[in-house]
Chain A
Amino acid sequence: MTALIDMRDIHKRFGGTVALDGASLTIAPGEVHALIGQNGAGKSTLIKVLTGVYTPTSGQILLDGEPVAFSGPRRAQQAGVATIYQELNLVPLRSVTENMMMGFEPLHWWGGIDWPQAHRRARTVFEELGLDIDVRRPLSEYSTAIQQLVAIGRAVSQQVRLVIMDEPTSSLDEREVQRLFEVIRLLKSQGTSVLFVSHFLEELYAVCDCATIMRNGATVEQRTLSETPRLELVASMLGRKTSDIQASGTTSFREMELDTDETLLEVESLATDKGLRGASLEVHQGEMVGLGGLLGAGRSELARALFGLDRSTRGSMRLAGQRYAPRHSRDAIAAGVALLSEDRKVEGIIPEMSVRENMTLPLLGTLSRRGVIQRRRERELAAHFIEALKIKTASMEQPIGQLSGGNQQKVLLARWLATQPRLLILDEPTRGVDIGAKREIQRIVQDYQAQGGAVLMISSEFEELAEGAQRVVIMHEGHSTRVLDNPGLSEDALVTAIATAQHDRADGAARDDERSPATATDHQETAP
């Protein structure tokens, strides 16, 4: 059988940098194909070459055995290759139909858009995808997951033969991921191929047939997933032997025996009007406390309140025994609290500023004298952290926007470590970074803890929490509901705790406050 797509020995250079160095990719019709590799391995570049965003320096692309060269994404789309990007390229305020049909609207003979037909077509597509939505409503009224399905619907409505999904699940919750998988299986059953890029191995095994593994701009190998153990896949991605990985252990946030009883942070019945209703917890020095819960449980909201971004409306915080009530992030930083935010692009990096400038931003106060930046000290600091955290960058002057996700995250981690915080709050620190970077980030956090730093970590990966945290506080609908202690903390226990929190809630919302130790004082405080 002729492959649908056959990319052979693709090379791509940007000036002096080699982005692709002999990459290849073969996708059969009706196949769900995973493209994996660490950040910077060349996955995105390969996709952009395939869709005509970039022209390859050398190499050949065959579609149904015929050589092709798309001059741009639109040409690729016309040939049946559609891409769903990480950031959706949709127009939020226009209707679902408009977003779906844009550029391909059915027209009247006189050139006007045939709206009834457009809506009808859009509805048909969504019915096929098992989605019942009003196609006339603006897109922005729907969740990210549905918006993503609209993007897929847009692709499907144009007779595609290959749908490329770049990190489609990074902003979806569990149920939405399952729905996406159903759609992918549906596409497969219709003979459409899917190229799936993701960092989550579970997802790959759940939905993909085979995987192409890339490393340093080249294709290492192609494997059939059902015949490949997970460890081998990871080893191939990292370019190591499986035995090495087993030796170093896959668990990275090691348990640490700590006998320090010094309480660093005490939070009591903290509430904001942004979705935090009553959270209590304690963090001791040198300890990692995890926050568990589903999306929207109030974990990020608690982090925001601790960092002075949302004003507390109730409850109290104490930091190292002192009353702590930050009104701005500046107050929090001055008090020794740091927050590595969940949304790296929006709340983290300043894309056009250099690695150095991004790193030292919160530190400029101490790095300058009478308002003038002491550049030698600044450079020394940046150089130190680039080396210590093994940040891969051409130089400290490279704009941070040009780095891979994992390295951007390391720069931001360096930004906060450089402020020498007493409490480091990490919100999904390893989301969207590859396994190599993930492990390094975990090691860096561990070192920081070993030096007595305290960590409050939000993670949707139960494994990460179960392995790293001394205690995990479970949150549900803005309340802290219970605390699980390590040792004795397993992924199962976490899942059960989170699941029963949900269950309890369903039993009777009115009893919620009584159950949680966190909100025991709520009754007095809400009384007046």
Chain B
Amino acid sequence: MTSLHSSRQATPRSASPRWRQAMPVNPRSLALLVALLALILFNVAITPNFLEWQTLSVNVSQVSTIAIVAIGMTLVIATGGIDLSVGAVMALAGALAPLIFLSEFGQQAPLAMTLVAIVVALAVAVACGLFNGVLVSRFGVQPIIATLVLFISGRGLAQVLTNGNLQTFDNPAFEFLGAGRLLGLPFQGWLVVVIALVVAWVIARTRYGRYLLATGGNPQAARMAGVPVTRVKLAAYTSCALLAGLAGLITVAINSASDAAKNGNLMELDAIAAAVVGGALLKGGKAPIAGVILGAAIIQLVRYTLLANGVADEVALVVKAAIIVLAVYLQTPRGAH
């Protein structure tokens, strides 16, 4: 049943020839879909209680944050960059929101202040993205170094803000982000669907999408053709940080608690892995959103499969690494076409 959820998102690229007439069926998305189906069948056969609504809910709820961050990461990777700061931005946004709605003002007008908390947290995330983007596009700092700044300091800042304490709260309106349900499925799952469809549409149909892929495909040629390369990159890093901030809020809402030390920890790796497995090229120029969602789903399901069958989390990490290696191998051009 998990397949239903994922295959629906695959439609923009793999099933509808109108989106990409050059590739009626994208072989990569198809391969990913087959891999996902194989995983599901494998689980149906051996994992106890796999075919239950509960299992689907748990998986959707857990894959959502990875998927949301991975979509943003894909935009940055499409420009030929990388964003290591997404986990730290999650922690920062996740720490800020409870601080605001738990404050004295927050207690006086809970609903309004919850809204303010979300907006402020996301605005700070956007500011982080602008910081990354300006370093990369204006000052020409290597993306991996530029985003390392916030990777280190962002989480530190979040811990300073919360004095390193776990912030627990009881705020039903806010918790809807992580625990709410629509048509029986977690709210954040639907959020992923909406975000993926919007971003895929932007990439396929808008001027910005074309500029984004041109920038990653050959930055010098793009600039010569009048593409505003600086602004395109800035927008990619900003969108990535915004999505990371949103994922940070969701994680906090799921747990009804904010832990600045743990929120989004190692998320950058999961997001990059999902993007690479999904077919994003690290040299830029590709943004296969459907593939990336499938990639996130596969990574999540592999982890779930191992955990549900009593394999330790540490081993699951090794398997995850193996999947990434395989994906990179498939991506490497070999010999003649």
Binding site for B on A (CB under 8 A): 14, 48, 53-54, 307, 309, 328-330, 333, 339, 341, 346-354, 357, 361-362, 364-365, 368, 371-373, 375, 395, 397-399, 415
Contacts and interface: CB of A to CB of B under 8 A. Distances in A.
Given A14-B337, A353-B214, A347 B207 contact: no
A284 to B, nearest CB: 26
A349 B219 CA distance: 10
Given A353-B213, A357-B210, A397-B22, A362 B226 contact: yes
Contacts of B224: 307, 309, 329, 339, 341, 347-348
Given A347-B220, A372-B207, A373-B205, 9 more contacts: A54-B336, A307-B224, A328-B226, A330-B226, A330-B228, A353-B213, A357-B210, A357-B214, A362-B225
Contacts of B226: 328-330, 333, 361-362
A309 B223 CA distance: 9
Interface in B83-113: none
B211 interface: yes
A350 B228 contact: no
A375 B21 CA distance: 12
Interface of B: 21-22, 205-208, 210-211, 213-214, 217-218, 220-228, 285-286, 335-337
Nearest to A332: B226
Given A330-B226, A361-B227, A415-B225, A354 B206 contact: no
Nearest first, the 10 closest Cβ-Cβ pairs linking A and B are A397-B22, A350-B217, A361-B225, A362-B226, A350-B218, A333-B226, A364-B207, A368-B207, A362-B225, A330-B226
B222 A398 contact: no
Contacts of A350: 213-214, 217-218, 221-222, 285
Contact of B205 (A307, A341, A372): A372
B22 A398 contact: yes
A361 B22 contact: no
Contacts of A373: 205-207, 210
A364 B22 contact: no
A365 B225 CA distance: 12
Contacts of A354: 22
B207 A397 contact: no
A364 B217 contact: no
> By DSSP majority rule, is chain A's interface helix, strand, loop, or mixed?
mixed
Contacts of B206: 368, 371-373
A309 to B, nearest CB: 7
Nearest to A397: B22
Nearest to A365: B207
A333 B208 CA distance: 18
B226 to A, nearest CB: 4
B285 to A, nearest CB: 6
A361 B214 contact: yes
Given A353-B213, A364-B211, A372-B207, A346 B221 contact: yes
A329 B22 contact: no
A250 to B, nearest CB: 32
B222 A361 contact: yes
19 contacts: A14-B337, A309-B224, A329-B224, A339-B224, A347-B224, A349-B221, A350-B213, A351-B218, A352-B217, A352-B285, A357-B213, A361-B225, A361-B227, A362-B225, A364-B207, A372-B205, A398-B22, A399-B22, A415-B225
B222 to A, nearest CB: 7
Contacts of B21: 397
Contacts of B214: 350, 353, 357, 361
A347 B286 CA distance: 19
A413 B218 CA distance: 18
Nearest to A375: B205
A53 B336 CA distance: 7
A105 B211 CA distance: 46
Contacts of B207: 364-365, 368, 371-373
Nearest to B211: A364
A366 B227 CA distance: 13
A63 B337 CA distance: 26
A333 B223 CA distance: 11
A361 B218 CA distance: 12
Contacts of B227: 361
Contacts of B285: 350, 352-353
Contacts of B213: 350, 353, 357
B78 to A, nearest CB: 12
A329 B221 CA distance: 11
Residue among A54, A307, A350 with the most chain B CB within 10 A? A350
B31 to A, nearest CB: 19
A364 B210 contact: yes
A309 B228 CA distance: 13
A198 to B, nearest CB: 24
A329 B225 contact: yes
A361 B222 CA distance: 8
Contacts of A368: 206-207
Of the candidates A307, A346, A352, the one having the most CB atoms from chain B within 10 angstroms of its own CB is A352
A448 B331 CA distance: 43
A499 B111 CA distance: 82
Contacts of B217: 350-353
Contacts of A349: 218, 221
A361 B228 CA distance: 11
A347 B214 CA distance: 12
A318 B222 CA distance: 26
Contacts of A395: 22
Contacts of A399: 22
B220 to A, nearest CB: 5
